Chains A and B, each alone.
Chain A
């Protein structure tokens, strides 16, 4: 398994677009797309939890090289809250109910589009990390909050 690269991000973007999957990049991978200079190991997708969206997501994942069994596909289709994929070209987390965000629809309204990638707003990324309250989130939050402040100042 390799590192997540722009080419692979573009493959995800294009595959999910072909199948009309509703998704948002979230977590540190989302922040990086918004310009946050930091490191991470995996990509996190906040996926709308609905049978139709689940059905669309499975072929997208297979097209980009995730080797899903029928049982695994069924777990994704049924919208388990969290799915961790390490059976493809890079590590990918599918999050159907992230902490700190009420609904996909509300996050979608606040999204930012970067080069065709749909990304959660920096406020939602921070809210999710604050709510998860893991050690790794607490370590990254001060810098992430400073990035939000900088971003807002420089976008204004």
Chain B
């Protein structure tokens, strides 16, 4: 993806014009599909280590949840706060 966040690593990267153009074609195509079909393509199922290993978890605050993600989930899952 042709994005640029070199000026400020904390900023959300800005997509290139080509990216935006390609995405807009996808958005328009998706809008022509009925909702049940869109959902069929959108929801996938893969095993996520640790996260999928308990049937129930609850956290008193979002802060507790974020800390738990940071401490216990593998980095590559992407749940850690930047």
Interface of A toward B, CB cutoff 8 Å: 1-6, 9, 29, 32-33, 35-41, 43, 67-69, 72, 75-76, 80-87, 91, 95, 97-99, 114-115, 130, 132-136, 138-139, 141-143, 145-147, 150-151, 154
Contact = CB atoms under 8 A, between A and B. Distances in A.
A3 to B, nearest CB: 4
A4 B48 contact: no
A138 to B, nearest CB: 6
A84 B82 contact: no
B19 to A, nearest CB: 8
Contacts of A154: 28, 31
From A95, A97, A138, residue with most partner B Cβ within 10 Å: A138
Interface of B: 1, 3, 12-15, 19-20, 23-24, 26-31, 35-36, 38-46, 48, 51-52, 54-62, 64-66, 69, 75, 77-82
A41 B44 contact: yes
Contacts, number: 146
A145 B12 contact: yes
Contact of B62 (A75, A87, A99, A139): A99
A2 B23 contact: no
Nearest to A115: B35
Nearest to A33: B35
Interface of A is mostly: mixed
A134 B42 contact: no
A2 B31 CA distance: 26
B30 A36 contact: yes
A10 to B, nearest CB: 9
A114 B35 contact: yes
Given A82-B64, A150-B28, 8 more contacts: A6-B39, A33-B39, A35-B30, A37-B41, A86-B54, A86-B55, A143-B15, A143-B23
A68 to B, nearest CB: 8
